[in-house]
Structure 1
Amino acid sequence: MCGILGILNQSNDVFAEIYDGLLMLQHRGQDASGMVTYNGEFFRERKANGLVKDVFGAKDAETLTGHVGIGHVRYPTAGSLSASEAQPFFVNAPYGIYLVHNGNITNTTEQAQKVTAKYSRHLRTTSDSEILLNVLADKIFDSIKVNGAQNPIRNIFAGVRMTMERVQGAYSVITMIAGVGLMAFRDPHGIRPLSVAKRVNEAGVEEFCFASEDVAFGINGFEKIRDVAPGEAVLIDLDGKMHQEQCAEGKLTPCIFEYVYLARPDSMLDGISVYKSQIRMGQTLAEQINGLNLDVDTIIPVPDSARPVALEVANVLGLRYREGLVKNRYVGRTFIMPGQEERKKSVRRKLNAIPLEFKDHNVLLIDDSIVRGNTLHKIVEMCREAGAKKVYVASASPPVKFPNVYGIDMPTKHELIAHNRTHDEICAEIGADGLIYQKLEDLIWAAQEGNKDIEAFDCSCFDGNYVTGVGESYLQQLEQSGRVSEKIKDMPAQGASWNAATLAS
Structure 2
Amino acid sequence: MEEIKEDCGVALIRLLKPLEYYQEKYGTWMYPLNKLYLMMEKQHNRGQEGAGMACVKLNTQPGNEYMFRERAEGSNAITEIFDNVHKDYANIASDDVSNVEFAKANLPFAGELYMGHLRYSTTGKSGITYVHPFLRRNNWRAKNLCFCGNFNMTNVDEIFDKLTLQGQCPRVYSDTYIMLELMGHRLDREVERNFEIAKTKGLTNTDITKFIEDNVKMSNVLKKTMTDFDGGYVVCGVTGSGEMFSMRDPWGIRPAFYYKNDEIVVLASERPVLQTTFDLDSADIKELAPGAALLVKRDGECTVEQILQPKGDSACSFERIYFSRGSDCDIYNERKKLGEQLTEPILKAVNYDTAHTVFSYIPNTAEVAYYGMLNGFKRYLNDEKIKKIESLGHAPTHEELEDILNDYVRSEKIAWKDIKLRTFITEGNSRNDLASHVYDITYDSITPNEDNLVIIDDSIVRGTTLKKSILRILDRLHPKKMVVVSSAPQIRYPDYYGIDMPRLEEFCVFRATIALLKDRGMDNVIRDTYNECKDELKKPKENMVNVVRNIYKPFTIEEINNKIVEILRPEGVTTPIEIVYQSIEGLHKAIPNHKGDWYFTGHFPTPGGTKLCNQAFVNYVESVEK
TM-score by length of 2: 0.68
The equivalent of 1:488 in structure 2 is none
Any conservation in 2 of the 1:331–1:346 contact (CA below 8 Å)? no
Residue 472 of structure 1, CA deviation: 5.7
Partner of 1:83: 128
User: Are the counterparts in 2 of residues 366 and 396 from structure 1 also a CA contact under 8 Å?
Assistant: yes
Aligned partner of 1:265 in structure 2 is 326
| Counterpart for residue 256 of structure 1 | 317
- Displacement, 1:353? 1.4
Paired residue secondary structure (1:441): helix
- Alignment match, 1:58: 83
In the TM superposition, residue 393 of structure 1 has moved relative to its aligned partner by: 0.3
What's the offset of the Cα at 1:191? 0.4
Runs of 4+ more than 6 Å apart: 340-346, 476-481
Kindly tell me the number of residue pairs found equivalent between the two proteins.
466
Q: Let me know the Cα RMSD of the aligned residues.
A: 3.0
How far apart are the structure 2 equivalents of 1:332 and 1:173?
A: 33
Which residue of structure 1 lines up, in the alignment, with residue 491 of structure 2?
Answer: 400
* Structure 1 partner of 2:416: 326
CA distance in 2, matches of 1:261, 1:373: 16
Identify the residue that residue 202 of structure 1 maps to in structure 2.
none
Deviation at 1:154, TM superposition (A): 5.2
Which runs of 5 or more structure 1 residues have no equivalent in the other structure? 200-204, 335-339, 449-453, 482-496
SS at structure 2 position matched to 1:36: strand
Q: CA deviation at 1:289?
A: 1.8
Aligned counterparts, 1:208-247, within 5 A: 208-221=265-278, 223=280, 224-247=284-307
Once the two structures are superposed, what CA deviation does each residue of 1:287-343 show, in whole Å capped at 9, x if it has no partner? 322344445521111112211111221222242222212234x84999xxxxx9999
Distance 1:380-1:400 versus aligned 2 partners, 3 A rule: same
Per mean C-alpha deviation after superposition, the further-off stretch among 350-359 and 395-404 is: 350-359
Q: For 2:67, which of 43, 46, 55 is the aligned residue? A: 43
1:390 and 2:450 correspond: no
The farther-off stretch of 40-49 and 253-262 is 40-49
Residues 503, 90 of structure 1: alpha-carbon distance in 2 compared, 3 angstrom cutoff? farther
Q: Give CA-to-partner distance per residue, 1:192-235, whole Å, 9 cap, x none.
A: 10011135xxxxx4211110002221343264430111111111
Query: Matches of 2:254 and 2:34 in 1, distance apart?
Result: 26
Contact 1:232 1:246 in 2 (8 A): yes
Q: Is the partner of 2:373 in helix, strand or coil?
A: helix
Counterpart in the other structure of 2:535: none
Correspondent of 2:14 among 5, 8, 13: 8
Instruction: Show the counterpart of 1:186.
Output: 248
2:432 counterpart of 1:354: no
Letter in 1 for 2:13: I
Letter in 2 for 1:256: S
Determine which of 571, 578, 584 is the counterpart of 1:440.
584
**Contact 1:306–1:366, Cα closer than 8 Å, also in 2:** yes
Which residue in 2 is equivalent to 1:409?
500
The 3-state SS of whatever aligns with 1:170 is strand
User: Could you tell me whether the CA contact under 8 Å between 2:170 and 2:178 is conserved in 1?
Assistant: no
Letter in 1 for 2:174: S
The TM-score, its normalising length taken from structure 1, stands at 0.84
Q: String of CA shifts for 1:15-58, please: whole Å, max 9, x gaps.
A: 32212111100111111111122223422222121124553353
1:370 alignment partner, one of 448, 460, 483? 460
Deviations along 1:419-451, one digit per CA (max 9) or x if unpaired, are: 152221112223261011100111011011xxx
**Greater mean alpha carbon deviation, residues 86-95 or residues 145-154:** 145-154
Q: Secondary structure at the match of 2:342?
A: helix
Moved more, 126-135 or 19-28: 126-135
Higher mean C-alpha deviation, range 358-367 or range 164-173: 358-367
For the structure 1 residues 66 and 349, does the alpha-carbon distance in structure 2 shift closer, same or farther, using more than 3 Å as the test? farther
Contact 1:331 1:349 in 2 (8 A): no
Contact 2:362 2:416 in 1 (8 A): no
What is the alpha-carbon distance in structure 1 between the residues aligned to residue 350 and residue 599 of structure 2? 30
2:217 aligned counterpart, secondary structure = helix
**Correspondence 1:419 to 2:476:** no
Which residue in the other structure is 2:366 paired with?
306
Paired with 1:118 and 1:83, the residues of 2 have a C-alpha distance of 29
Paired letter, 1:122: P
Q: Which structure's residues are more often strand, by fraction?
A: 1
Q: Does 1:463 align with 2:601?
A: yes
What is the CA–CA distance in structure 2 between the aligned matches of 1:76 and 1:342, rounded to whole Å?
26
Q: Distance in 2 between matches of 1:74 and 1:342?
A: 29
State how far apart, in whole Å, the 2-side matches of 1:331 and 1:39 are: 41
Shift of 1:389: 4.0
Deviations 1:121-144 (A, max 9, x none): 4334x4322222222222333444
Take 2:131 and 2:433, find their aligned partners in 1: how far apart are those partners?
A: 25
Contact 1:353 1:383 in 2 (8 A): yes
Q: For the Cα contact (< 8 Å) 2:132–2:148, is it kept in 1?
A: yes
Shift of 1:190: 1.1
- Distance in structure 2 (CA, Å) of the matches to 1:409 and 1:89: 22
Query: Structure 1 residue 245: deviation in Å?
Result: 1.2
CA distance in 2, matches of 1:163, 1:274: 33
Distance 1:331 1:301 in 2: 18
Q: 2:258 aligns with which of 186, 190, 196?
A: 196
User: 369-378 or 132-141: which moved more?
Assistant: 132-141
**Deviating more after overlay: 219-228 vs 254-263:** 219-228
CA contact (8 A) 2:51 2:78 kept: no
Selected match of 1:19 from 37, 40, 47: 37
Once the two structures are TM-superposed, the CA of residue 171 in structure 1 deviates from its matched residue by 0.7
CA distance in 1, matches of 2:563, 2:341: 24
1:447-504: CA deviations, max 9, x gaps? 11xxxxx4x61111111111012266534666899xxxxxxxxxxxxxxx9xx97545
Work out whether residues 32 and 49 of structure 1, in 8 Å CA contact, stay in contact via their aligned partners in 2.
yes
AA aligned to 2:496 is V
**Matched position secondary structure for 1:419:** helix
Cα pair 1:192 1:254 within 8 Å, conserved: yes
- Whichever residue aligns with residue 371 of structure 2, its letter is L
Question: Does the 8 Å CA contact 1:4/1:100 hold for their aligned counterparts?
Answer: yes
Match for residue 130 of structure 1? 177
SS at match of 1:179: coil
How far apart are the structure 2 equivalents of 1:215 and 1:356?
38
Distance in structure 2 (CA, Å) of the matches to 1:463 and 1:157: 35
Which has a greater percent of helix? 2
Kept in 2, the 8 Å contact 1:282–1:309? The answer is yes
AA partner of residue 182 (structure 1):
M
Cα–Cα, structure 1 residues 74 and 249, in superposed 2: closer, same or farther, change >3 Å? same
Cα deviation digits, residues 342-376 of structure 1 (max 9, x gap)? 99677556432111325614211100001111012
The letter for the 2-side match of 1:226 is K
Provide the rounded CA distance (Å) in 1 between the counterparts of 2:617 and 2:42. 33
Which letter does structure 1 place at the counterpart of 2:325?
R
In structure 2, the CA distance between the partners of 1:157 and 1:310, relative to structure 1 (3 Å rule), is same
- The change in CA–CA distance for 1:193 and 1:414 in structure 2 (over 3 A counts) is same
Could you tell me how far 1:65 is from its partner in structure 2? 1.2
